[in-house]
Amino acid sequence: MDSDLRNKRVMVTGGAGFLGTYVVNSLKEQGVSDVLVPLEQEYNLTKMEDIEAAFDAMEPDVVIHLAAKVGGIGANRENPGSFFYDNLMMGVQLMEAARQNGVEKFVSLGTICCYPKFAPIPFREETLWDGYPEETNAPYGLAKKMLLVQGQAYLQEYGFKSIFLMPVNLYGPGDNFDPASSHVIPALLRKFLEAKAAGASKVVVWGSGNPTREFIYVEDAARAIIMATQKYNGSEPVNVGTGDEISILKLAELIAELTGFTGELIWDATKPDGQPRRQLEVSRASQYFGFEAQTGFREGLKRTVEWYQGQMATEQASTHEQGA
C-alpha cells in the first residue's frame, strides 16, 4: 500500500550531499512540504547527543538515512577505520533514536560493498551472507550491512519498521570530483578532461581494466529510494540498480570518447582492481515497489560530462576574473 508522504515530516540525513540533493528535490516536487535536513555543520551524526538534538528540533515521522563517509578504492584503503566507525555509529544510533522517538519508518541505504567478494553473478539478495566482502571496502560494507541486521532485529523485538536498500555505484551531475576521494566515473572523467586541456598524449588508469561494474544514474536512484519509502515495508534487503555491467576498460574508453580525449590509456596493474565483477539481479525492486531504471548509461554519462565541463568553465572564468 502506498504511503502518502505529503503530510509527513521527512528527515533526510545527507540531504545536502550528492544523492541527498536529488532525493530532497524529488520529495519537494512531489508535494512534501516538510523535508528536514540535519546539516553536518550543525549536527555530528556520529554523536548521540547531536542526533537527539536533531530529532528534538525536527520531530520527523520518516527518516531516510543517506549520510555516509564514502570514497573510491584509494579512500577506502587509506581510511578503513574511520569509514567503519563513522558509518556504523551514524546508522546504529540514528535508528535507535528513530525507534525511541516513534518514527513511523526508517529507510537505510546500504551498499553493493555489502556483498561477498566472490558472490555469484548477478548478485542476488539471497547470497548476501555467503562470504566476506572484498577486502579494500569490507570495513565500509560491513558497517552498512549492520543496518540490515539492526532493522530486522528491531522489527522482531519492537515492531519497528525499516527497509534496507543496496544501490550500485551512483553517477551524475553534482558527483564528487575530488581526486582524493572520488569514485571511478568522476575520477576518470576529470583525468581525461584535464589531460585533453593540457594536450597530454596519455592517461594512467588504475588496475588492469578487467573488473566489471554496474552504475545507476543519480536521478534514477533517488526515484527508487522515494518509491521504496512509499511502497515497501518488508524486512528483506533490496538491490537498486540497472542489471547491466561494463568492464572498467570499456568504461574508460567510453568516457575518453565522450570527453574527446584521443590519447593512449596506460593501465597501472600495480594498483588494486577491487571486486572482480559487480552486477545486480534487480527483479526484487521491480516486484516490491515497481522500480526500473530509466536513464541509459551513455546518455547519463553524456549529461555528467556536460555538467562537469560547465563547472570547469565557471571555475576558469572565476580564476580569470580574480587574476585580472
> Which three-class secondary structure state does DSSP give residue 305?
helix
For residues 136 and 206, the answer to whether their CB atoms sit within 8 Å is no
Contact 63, 98 (CB under 8 A): yes
Residue 140 among the catalytic residues:
yes
The Cα–Cα gap between 229 and 104 comes to 11
Measured CA to CA, the distance from residue 322 to residue 324 in angstroms comes to 6
Q: Which residues lie below 8 Å from residue 272, measured CB to CB, with a gap of 6+?
A: 73, 77, 136, 206, 207
Which residues are within 8 A (CB) of 275 and not within 5 positions of it... i.e. 6 or more apart? 115, 117, 134, 137, 211
Separation in Å, CA 10 to CA 28, 268, 278: 10, 45, 32
Taking the C-alpha atoms of 245, 81, 181 and 37 in order, what is their torsion angle to the nearest 10 degrees?
A: 90
The one catalytic residue in 22, 140, 154, 217 is: 140
Alpha-carbon separation of residue 299 from 81, 133, 176 (angstroms): 37, 31, 19
- Asked whether the beta carbons of 250 and 208 are under 8 A apart, the reply is no
Listed in sequence order, the DSSP H helices in the chain are 18-29, 48-58, 73-78, 80-100, 138-158, 184-198, 218-231, 248-259, 283-289, 297-323
Residues marked active site are found at 140
